[in-house]
């Protein structure tokens, strides 16, 4: 099998050891040291305890010699978050006017399937200025969050080939979520991390309606501005969820009802919520919902 075909298979099945072995052979034929790294790491994973220290030293020396060269394949301004066998598989980009183009270049890398978008320096400066003043308060006498960062250019992203998109702590708000929903994608994203992004019900509804996110299994929405209406939108759009984080979203009993009535209720393996997010009535709804797997129900009974 040609190297390109092997790379495509590894994008789709990154844990396939047989394909990694075949790809490592191709790389060794090309004189790429990552081929030897794949061989050594495979041997280390299956070695006797007495042999592991020597193999680890050989691996560390090989990585020390070549890692800088390997990372130089990425565009300037793109950093590595996660590596596998010397290859960048998840990268990070700081948000700026150039970020969409940089992200497009980065995900054309051989095995990059995950992107972390960080708020840029201008956004952090704006936050510092906001917090240096007295915050505004809403009708419930709660401090209002800073206004969202300008992330309309998220609509210009081409997310084709990605399985993970991480925007945690980048406060895009509903306008940014609506722009993200318009991004170009082949719909392969399985993990979407929007913790502390300032997204509300309208933003979630836009993402739910987007074909870019139809395959999402793991959705992290901790500390956003969702209500029960947002949970109802989730129930109508994300049908394949296995992991859902709604901590610090005051969804109340109505949100708990929407969760147990959602088409993904039976497939959930992990659900993150606090009792005060759904109130006592919501805890009872979740604890006694036959739609939820028994492990989740037993968790709610212990709250």
**Same domain membership, residue 242 and residue 196:** yes
Contact 246, 272 (CB under 8 A): yes
Q: Any idea what the CATH number is for the domain that residue 138 is in?
A: 3.80.10.10
At 165, which helix (H) or strand (E)? strand 164-166
**Same domain membership, residue 134 and residue 36:** no
Domain that holds residue 177: 73-301
Angle separating helix axes 3-12 and 17-29, nearest 10 degrees: 150
Give the C-alpha separation, 81 to 15, whole Å. Answer: 18
Give the C-alpha separation, 175 to 154, whole Å. Answer: 10
pLDDT in tens, the chain (303 residues): 788 999 999 999 999 999 999 999 999 999 999 999 999 999 999 999 999 999 999 999 999 999 999 999 999 999 999 999 999 999 999 998 889 999 999 988 889 999 999 997 665 555 554 445 555 666 655 556 677 888 999 999 999 999 999 999 999 999 999 999 999 999 999 999 999 999 999 999 999 999 999 999 999 999 999 999 999 999 888 888 999 999 999 899 999 999 999 999 999 999 999 999 999 999 999 989 999 888 776 666 555
Pairing of strands 87-94, 78-84: antiparallel
pTM: 0.89
**Same domain membership, residue 64 and residue 157:** no
Angle at CA of residue 167, ends 249 and 143, nearest 5°: 40
- Look at residue 67 in the predicted model and tell me its pLDDT: 96
Domain termination residue (choose one: 20, 42, 72)? 72
**Same domain membership, residue 150 and residue 33:** no
Alpha carbon dihedral 242, 91, 174, 125, in 10-degree steps, equals 140
Q: Which residue has the tokens 């992200």?
A: 103
**Same domain membership, residue 170 and residue 80:** yes
Domain termination residue (choose one: 38, 72, 106)? 72
48-to-18, 42, 52, 201 alpha-carbon distances in Å: 20, 12, 7, 54
Q: Considering its fold, how many domains does the chain have in total? A: 2
């Amino acid at each position: 099998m040609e190297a390109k075909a092997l790379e495509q298979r590894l994008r789709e099945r990154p844990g396939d050891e047989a394909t990694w072995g075949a790809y490592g052979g191709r790389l060794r034929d090309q004189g790429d040291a990552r081929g030897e790294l794949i061989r050594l790491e495979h041997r280390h994973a299956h070695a006797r305890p007495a042999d592991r220290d020597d193999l680890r030293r050989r691996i560390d020396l090989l990585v020390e010699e070549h890692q800088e060269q390997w990372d130089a394949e990425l565009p300037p301004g793109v950093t590595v978050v996660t590596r596998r066998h010397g290859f960048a598989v998840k990268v990070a980009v700081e948000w700026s006017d150039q970020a969409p183009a940089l992200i497009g270049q980065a995900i054309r890398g051989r095995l990059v399937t995950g992107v972390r978008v960080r708020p840029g320096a201008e956004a952090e400066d704006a936050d510092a200025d906001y917090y240096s003043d007295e915050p505004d308060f809403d009708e419930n006498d709660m401090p209002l969050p800073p206004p969202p960062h300008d992330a309309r250019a998220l609509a210009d992203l081409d997310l084709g080939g990605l399985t993970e998109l991480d925007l945690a702590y980048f406060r895009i708000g509903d306008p940014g979520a609506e722009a993200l929903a318009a991004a170009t994608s082949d719909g392969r994203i399985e993990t979407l991390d929007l913790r502390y992004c300032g997204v509300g019900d309208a933003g979630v509804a836009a993402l739910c309606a987007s074909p870019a996110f139809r395959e999402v299994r793991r959705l992290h929405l901790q500390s956003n501005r969702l209500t029960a209406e947002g949970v109802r939108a989730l129930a109508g759009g994300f049908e394949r969820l296995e992991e859902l984080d709604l901590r610090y979203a005051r969804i109340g009993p109505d949100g708990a009802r929407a969760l147990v009535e959602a088409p993904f209720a039976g497939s959930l393996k992990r659900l993150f919520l606090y009792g005060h997010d759904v109130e006592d009535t919501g805890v009872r709804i979740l604890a006694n919902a036959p739609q939820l797997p028994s492990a989740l129900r037993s968790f709610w009974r212990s709250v």
